[in-house]
Amino acid sequence: MIKLLSCDNPLIVHHFKNILIHNQIDCFVKNDQIYSIGGEVPVGIFWPELWIYDADLLEKAESILQVNSTQSTCVPQSESQEPCSTAEQWLCASCGESNDDNFFACWHCSQLK
């Protein structure tokens, strides 16, 4: 197992997880349940983390998510931990949900942009 990224927004971490699973990369989110105590501990320690089971798939996972995060919404663990930013939105043609511009698939129904 290897940690792919961490992010202060658990919704985005779960969105990335869904994208990776959609691409047949088994992964899981860590720390999303203890995120609520994050305000009482140093920033970053308890951010939700996205881990993948097969470390050999790390490069593939990074390349998939970098396609989505041209605005560096969430950065890979090897880079600095910047907070998530709110980018422009696009509306899902399938379910009408609004999504950040740098996501290529709807967070709600996984419909491609």
CB of 92 to Zn ion, least distance (A): 3
Handedness of CA 75, 77, 79, 84 (dihedral sign): positive
CB of 113 to Zn ion, least distance (A): 10
Closest CA to 30 of 57, 5, 58, 56: 5
The answer to the question of residue 97 lying near Zn ion (CB under 5 A) is yes
Question: Binding segment for Zn ion among 13-21, 24-32, 73-81, 92-100 (CB under 5 A)?
Answer: 92-100
Whether residue 46 contacts residue 33, with contact meaning beta carbons closer than 8 Å, is answered with: no
| Options 92, 100, 102, 103; binder of Zn ion; rule CB under 5 A | 92
List residues near Zn ion by CB under 5 A.
92, 94-95, 97, 106, 108-109, 111
